[in-house]
Structure 1
Amino acid sequence: MAAPTSTYRLQFGPHLGLSEAVALTDYLVDLGVGALYASPLLAAAPGSTHGYDLVDPTRTDPGRGGERARLALARRLAEAGLGFVVDVVCNHMGVADAAANPWWWDVLRHGPESRYARFFDVDWSAGPLLLPVLGDDGDGGVAAEGELKLADDSLVYHEHRFPLAPGSGHGTVAQVHGRQHYRLVSWRRGVADLTYRRFFNIDTLACLRTEDPEVFGALHAETLRWVREGQVTGLRVDHPDGLADPSGYLRRLRAAAPGAWIVVEKVLGAGEELPAGWPVDGTTGYDALAEISGVFVAPAGRQRLTEAAGLTGTALADVVREAREQVVATMLVAEARRVEALVAALLPRCPAAERADAVRALLVEFPVYRSYLPQHRWALDEAVERAARRRPALRGILTAVRDEMVARPTGPLAVRVQQATGPVMAKGVEDTAIYRHNSLVAVNEVGVDPGRFGVSPGELHATNAAREAGWPATMTTLSTHDTKRSEDVRARLAVLSELPEAYAERFRRWSARQPLGDPLLEPLAWQTLLGAWPIGPERLSAYLLKVARETRVRTNWHDPDLAYEDGVTSWPARVLADATLTAEVRAFVDRIAPPGWSNSLGQKLLQLAGPGVPDVYQGTELWDYSLVDPDNRRPVDFAARRRLLAEIDAGRTPRVDDTGAAKLLVTSRVLRLRRDSPGLFRGYRPVRAEGGAAEHLIGFSRGGDDGVVALATRLPVGLAERGGWADTVVPLPGDAGGWVDVFTGAPVRSPAPRVEDLFGRLPVALLVKKRGS
């Protein structure tokens, strides 16, 4: 299985089609990329901006260019020697537009008799399929039936169209509706009454029974054809945790694509590893993101930042538990009820209220996204013990549930519990808790343990060594389409951990002058302004509205508090219209931006040169100060990147400034070296400095004594405060010399050079042996 030397993620959609990507191939080659890594390419809902709302797996999405453009791109990539990695959506399909999804349309038309009825995870024993689409009429959707119409052998509700069962179209609209295999109900009933499994809490994404070989075959036939014909070299599997049997699915996928590089989207908990025996090359890299970004955060700043945010005495564990309890009780009721019904069958004499309490407690206390029984039983045991300690009276029920799951790991109870724990973790932690505990939002990220504030160099070395030994072809990343903020926003905000007093004093004054009106959201708002600066009021308003609803305290997606939201969305314009205040903000950004650039270059080097297959998210080869999607799907100015790269290749040595050219230099030089000399990037050994500022250097060597040495600056504010590197040196591996810095071309003549000399131009260095030395 040949892994690419690196990948470059492109987000296909309205701003970028497959034909445009053909023209980008030469730029990717110049950058040093090993493979293009594409967002989903199969037919998605009309107008989809991301492609994860798959509607037809048998054809390339016409909105992204269609089959002809896909073939042209595959041929061009092959000619250029680049791999082609595609995103595989295996868990769900988009059903917002029923007419756009042939499988779903057939299910609605023919019900349980449809050839696709068992493709979807539907409980047909519960009666007609409930579709929560009717408006909020306060009457469970009944009154809204009056807005239904009949047209073109369909039932029509505003822009929505639904098929009629054969021979059912006579009579009144209500009579016709009553004859269908589905019922159109209030959108509010999706929270609790769904009769189909959905992706997280999204009613418009219906989950599939991919464990069925027929479903697997139909869903993957087109993608696997691309693999067989050599057009696709790698697969990125989206959300395998939602499947009934992730291990079995991955074994089937590997058997069907034996030569492909396969990575899975998997958020690993603290100390968690992929299940033994999974026939994949690794994850999509959130584990590496957490470690690499964390090494640039100063733990000493935690207490003051926590005080500034008004969170002193607020235990993060309690915030997480409260958030998870809330999402189980309000957003994922249908999922919990599905488990409760199975527990009722197991324990029919147990009071219903106690069964429900036990199920909720089990889901809330699960320590990771899911177990993979019989593997990772420890997660189930830990969840049961946690829940039983908090609710001793439920221990008997919890124990019985655990014992049934262990005895029948592929049984319905085990499957449903394991499918439910992931959504609880994702919605409770990623999309709620980390928006409520805003001491330093740089550490509030997908895949990052929210209770962890900073990573020591020793911890990073240990995880890097383990990655090289166990998962050398896993993907690593710093930014993805799902991260809450880009790598450069996090790098700049990490500087606040070194300047907690300076930030806290400004935060106090600024929030008094232009209050947001929500103490919980206020720290996040001001840190976002600093981290993404310069940012216009429209972008910041859209972001804050999304965050406010995700926080689920003063408002939410289902029941928005419009008055409160108006105060939140008008805040950016008020702040940015305050000339005195914005001058202070700009001045503080000017202070934290240079050390933020140092952090950005450092984490980029550690990722690109470190173990694993590094991914570069589109546009992040320059400074990129994007926020959560859809902000991070904005068009990328590739023309500007081409020009800058050409200037660098012509001999320009960029300074570390706001152009981002220094980041492009680092990115292109490491990627090219990985592509042209992959043997230099095998093995792993820490490299440590000696002297007064040794703690400010993080480095490692790869490829043995004649390989490469990657060196980066960490905690640059503290370094400057102590007077710089002074007498600090870094002993290099191997013999006396012969090294040269790839970024600057400067020779290194000493076996233990002064760090100050190495970092004369940039806060990072990548050393290689001179040819022939």
Structure 2
Amino acid sequence: MTAPASTYRLQLRPGFDFADARGVVAYLRDLGIGAVYVSPVLEATPGSTHGYDVTDPTRMREELGGEDGFRSLTAAAREAGLGVVVDIVPNHMSVEVPSANPWWRHVLRDGSRSAYANHFDIDWSRGRVLVPVLGSADDLAKLTVEGDELVYFDHRFPIAPGTGEGSPQEVHDRQHYELVDWRRGNTELNYRRFFDITTLAAVTVERPEVFDDTHREILTWVNAEEVTGLRIDHPDGLADPGAYVRRLRDAAPHAWIVIEKILHPGEHLPESWPVEGTTGYDAMRETLGVLLDPAGEEAFTKLADRLGVRTDYAAVEQEARRLVTDTILVAEVRRIAGLLDGVDVDAARAAVAETMIAFGVYRSYLPEVESTWTDAVERARDRRPDLDAALTTLDQQVRGDPEGELATRIQQTSGMVVAKGTEDTTFYRFTRFAALNEVGGSPEVWGMGVDEFHRLAAERDAGRPATMTALTTHDTKRSEDTRARMAVLAEVADDFADAVASWTERCGIDEPSLNLLAWQTLVGAWPISDERLGDYLLKAARESKLRTTWTEPDEEFEKSVAAWPARVRDEVGDEVEAFVRRIEWPGWSNSLTQKIVQLTAPGVPDVYQGTELWDFSLVDPDNRRPVDYDLRREMLARFDEGLVPELDVSGATKLFVVQRALTLRRDRPELFEGYRSLSADGPAAAHALAYARSEDLVVVGTRLPVGLEAAGGWGDTTLTLGEGEWTDLITGATIAGGVAELSAVLTRYPVALLVRS
């Protein structure tokens, strides 16, 4: 296995297909990228804009150009010297359009006798497959029969052979499926799903025959060396993630494999997993954390209290997770509780729910990793001593058979509770400082010190040096540059608190957590259109589930949220813009520092599409807007002509830094072997973030730029370099070895990439 020097993530969709991806390969080569990294490429729900709703894993997606289009893309990448990394989805398939999913259609038609009956995680003991699609139970009267299909508006379902006589209701009653009110899905569904999405049915990939059927197409490309790497989506939903990655490694021995595993602070991948690492959310958390001013925490906590936003994170998270177990994942909790022997039904459900609520990480990995399971059970027992007997039985049964159905299902489902309860609910309720509310983030932990950052970087280099690192992904709550600018707010926390209090008094949103989130978002993403901001705030309001939800919207409240951006622009827009101008340059400094750190620190850096220039995006679908590659090509061409750009609103400097760092990493990999922290000396030493990747490569960035400027700059702060002459590959400046003045090293930019001649 040879890991790519770096990757560049492309979001494929009908408007940006294999041919379009092929068209940017040369640009990515010139940018210094090591591998083209694409979103799922297998057949998906018609019109899908992301590809995670796979409908047929045996075929390349025709809307993207099919097999010929994919082959053309991989050939272009190979000719340019780039690898190809593909995102795959082993946990679930889309069943939204049965005609698009031949396996699911077969199951609906033939029931438990179908050749694919066990390809999906269906509880056949409960009889017919529940399909929650009707507007109400009365809508059964609206069914019609058309040929060999049962039709409900745009939904079409197969009719089992020999069952098509009589009224539509009579035909329906003979089928292997039952169409029911969509509201019954959360409580009665009898197939496992992806989170709370009933149109994504879980696949039993733990069965060898199912693994073979779902992976045959993509492994053909891997073994032909057309595909050089795989990104595995949602491994925590699998019955046995460890067994899955071992089977995948056996099938693809030479592929670079990373998994979308979110690691909490202090958590590590099990040692037995033969993968290169994760998709990099842990590195994202660390890179932002080291740039955050600890002095800002008190002011932001006081601001939240002043505005009525809750600051007791543990309580907010616990309530959000309980909302998930009690109202959203009810069917899953019931199914797990039904496996618990000798316990009253209500006590069994409560014990299962409480244990999943108490998880400190996404899931446990029994029997290899027991501590997370033990911690969850003990925490549940502390919270609910009345459930001691039920929890003891649950613990004993799970430990006694760690590969049994009970242990498997509760581990699969805990990740759903954590993700829905924390990422998709708590992060929109606990809005004290939203830059920390990121996938893999810990909003209750305010950053980290420089020494801890270096320790973790060295640990990554020693343990999993080929893991992916990221700053922005298709799933992040906000882009890297938005977070970088928001990090500046911690340095001007008192002034921002006063401004928000004043703005809120004049035109706040009538829901405290959304109101505080809205002001941070407005400043972080400015300039942003009213439409983009309105769409984001509507999604945030529904995700928080406080005043409105996706399923039970409060129309009047949502109208006021939609109108808020225009109202703010009219009433306080000039003040907001002035505040943004004040923190804009420090935000650029943070952006460049976190970018050069990601591109040069241990791990394989991924560049999310478009973020090589300033990108102030928010959560999807905002972060999936089209990218202007013509503009980027033009800028690269100017660099080739000798331009060293100014640090300004164009973002050219970021592109310049990205190209210089990635090209060095690709062309001189020997410089990136090892990691050693470096410490500056002098009055501004705390503002330097520096390390050596080898004896001949030193990276320097700037921390807390507002404080640095207030203190008068670098002054006589120094950094000791090895003897000899050093060149900053970004600016071209030369620096003598020995004790170097940081004011000379960082004259033009807040970052430097120093290589010894």
Report the secondary structure of 2:219's partner residue: helix
Partner of 1:121: 121
Quote the Cα distance in structure 2 between the aligned partners of 1:249 and 1:359: 25
State yes or no: 1:90 paired with 2:81: no
Q: 1:625 aligns with which of 612, 616, 620?
A: 616
The within-5 A match list for 1:353-368 is: 353-368=346-361
Q: Aligned Cα RMSD in Å?
A: 1.0
The within-5 A match list for 1:200-219 is: 200-219=195-214
Contact 2:5-2:34 at 8 Å conserved across structures: yes
Aligned residues: 755
Quote the Cα distance in structure 1 between the aligned partners of 2:676 and 2:581: 36
Quote the Cα distance in structure 1 between the aligned partners of 2:536 and 2:147: 41
Identity %: 53
Report the secondary structure of 2:14's partner residue: coil
Partner of 1:241: 236
Quote the Cα distance in structure 2 between the aligned partners of 1:294 and 1:148: 56
Summarize deviations over 1:265-312 as a string: whole Å, max 9, x none.
000112100011101000000000000011111111011112112268
Partner of 1:720: 709
Partner of 2:70: 70
Q: 1:198 aligns with which of 189, 193, 197?
A: 193
Q: 1:442 aligns with which of 435, 443, 464?
A: 435
Partner of 2:225: 230
Partner of 1:9: 9
Partner of 1:696: 687
Q: 1:477 aligns with which of 470, 479, 486?
A: 470
Q: 1:319 aligns with which of 316, 319, 323?
A: 316
Distance 1:313 1:640, change over 3 A: closer
Q: How far did residue 576 of structure 1 move?
A: 2.0
Report the secondary structure of 1:641's partner residue: helix
Contact 1:282-1:471 at 8 Å conserved across structures: yes
Quote the Cα distance in structure 2 between the aligned partners of 1:313 and 1:337: 31
Partner of 1:46: 46
Report the secondary structure of 2:720's partner residue: coil
Summarize deviations over 1:462-495 as a string: whole Å, max 9, x none.
1100000000000000000000000000000000
Contact 2:304-2:310 at 8 Å conserved across structures: no
State yes or no: 1:584 paired with 2:575: yes
Contact 2:309-2:430 at 8 Å conserved across structures: no
Partner of 1:22: 22
Structure 1 range deviating more: 313-322 or 382-391: 313-322
Quote the Cα distance in structure 1 between the aligned partners of 2:638 and 2:432: 41
Contact 2:687-2:702 at 8 Å conserved across structures: yes
Partner of 1:496: 489
Partner of 2:338: 341
Report the secondary structure of 2:590's partner residue: helix
Letter in 1 for 2:60: T
Letter in 2 for 1:566: K
Contact 2:479-2:616 at 8 Å conserved across structures: yes
Quote the Cα distance in structure 2 between the aligned partners of 1:564 and 1:678: 55
Distance 1:604 1:506, change over 3 A: same
Report the secondary structure of 1:57's partner residue: strand
Report the secondary structure of 2:724's partner residue: coil
Quote the Cα distance in structure 1 between the aligned partners of 2:519 and 2:551: 26
Letter in 2 for 1:333: V
Q: 1:269 aligns with which of 248, 264, 271?
A: 264
Quote the Cα distance in structure 2 between the aligned partners of 1:151 and 1:723: 78
Quote the Cα distance in structure 2 between the aligned partners of 1:643 and 1:7: 21
Report the secondary structure of 1:726's partner residue: coil
Q: How far did residue 313 of structure 1 move?
A: 7.1
Contact 1:739-1:749 at 8 Å conserved across structures: yes
The within-5 A match list for 1:292-303 is: 292-303=287-298
Partner of 1:112: 112
Quote the Cα distance in structure 1 between the aligned partners of 2:276 and 2:92: 23
Summarize deviations over 1:245-276 as a string: whole Å, max 9, x none.
11111111000000000000000112100011
Quote the Cα distance in structure 2 between the aligned partners of 1:258 and 1:520: 48
Distance 1:522 1:593, change over 3 A: same
Contact 2:309-2:432 at 8 Å conserved across structures: no
Q: How far did residue 592 of structure 1 move?
A: 0.9
Distance 1:312 1:552, change over 3 A: closer
Q: How far did residue 64 of structure 1 move?
A: 1.2
Structure 1 range deviating more: 306-315 or 179-188: 306-315
Report the secondary structure of 1:749's partner residue: strand
Letter in 2 for 1:409: P
Contact 1:302-1:439 at 8 Å conserved across structures: no
Partner of 2:326: 329
Report the secondary structure of 1:299's partner residue: coil
Q: How far did residue 172 of structure 1 move?
A: 0.4
Contact 1:306-1:312 at 8 Å conserved across structures: no
The within-5 A match list for 1:431-580 is: 431-578=424-571
Contact 1:88-1:236 at 8 Å conserved across structures: yes
Contact 1:31-1:672 at 8 Å conserved across structures: yes
Structure 1 range deviating more: 560-569 or 83-92: 560-569
Contact 2:457-2:601 at 8 Å conserved across structures: yes
Distance 1:32 1:313, change over 3 A: closer
Quote the Cα distance in structure 2 between the aligned partners of 1:326 and 1:92: 24
Question: What is the TM-score of this pair, normalised by structure 1?
Answer: 0.97
Q: How far did residue 726 of structure 1 move?
A: 0.6
Quote the Cα distance in structure 2 between the aligned partners of 1:428 and 1:375: 26
Q: How far did residue 431 of structure 1 move?
A: 0.6
Contact 2:8-2:35 at 8 Å conserved across structures: yes
Report the secondary structure of 2:188's partner residue: coil
Quote the Cα distance in structure 2 between the aligned partners of 1:584 and 1:64: 45
Partner of 2:720: 731
Quote the Cα distance in structure 2 between the aligned partners of 1:457 and 1:418: 35
Quote the Cα distance in structure 2 between the aligned partners of 1:98 and 1:59: 16
Partner of 1:755: 742
Partner of 1:221: 216
Letter in 2 for 1:120: F
Quote the Cα distance in structure 2 between the aligned partners of 1:750 and 1:673: 20
Quote the Cα distance in structure 2 between the aligned partners of 1:737 and 1:317: 53
Quote the Cα distance in structure 2 between the aligned partners of 1:232 and 1:9: 14
Q: How far did residue 15 of structure 1 move?
A: 2.9
Q: How far did residue 600 of structure 1 move?
A: 0.2
Letter in 2 for 1:434: F
State yes or no: 1:166 paired with 2:153: no
Quote the Cα distance in structure 2 between the aligned partners of 1:450 and 1:305: 12
Q: How far did residue 228 of structure 1 move?
A: 1.0
Quote the Cα distance in structure 2 between the aligned partners of 1:665 and 1:430: 34
State yes or no: 1:178 paired with 2:167: no
Q: How far did residue 152 of structure 1 move?
A: 2.5
Partner of 1:81: 81
Quote the Cα distance in structure 1 between the aligned partners of 2:748 and 2:354: 55
Letter in 2 for 1:406: R
State yes or no: 1:744 paired with 2:731: yes
Contact 1:5-1:613 at 8 Å conserved across structures: yes
Structure 1 range deviating more: 253-262 or 439-448: 439-448
Partner of 2:401: 408
Partner of 2:669: 678
Quote the Cα distance in structure 2 between the aligned partners of 1:113 and 1:769: 69
Q: How far did residue 749 of structure 1 move?
A: 1.2
Quote the Cα distance in structure 2 between the aligned partners of 1:620 and 1:38: 15
Quote the Cα distance in structure 1 between the aligned partners of 2:62 and 2:371: 46
Distance 1:294 1:15, change over 3 A: farther
Q: How far did residue 351 of structure 1 move?
A: 2.7
Contact 1:554-1:564 at 8 Å conserved across structures: yes
The within-5 A match list for 1:632-651 is: 632-651=623-642
Quote the Cα distance in structure 2 between the aligned partners of 1:498 and 1:171: 73
Summarize deviations over 1:169-200 as a string: whole Å, max 9, x none.
00001000000000000110111100100000
Letter in 1 for 2:430: H
**Which residues of structure 2 form unaligned runs of 5+?**
none
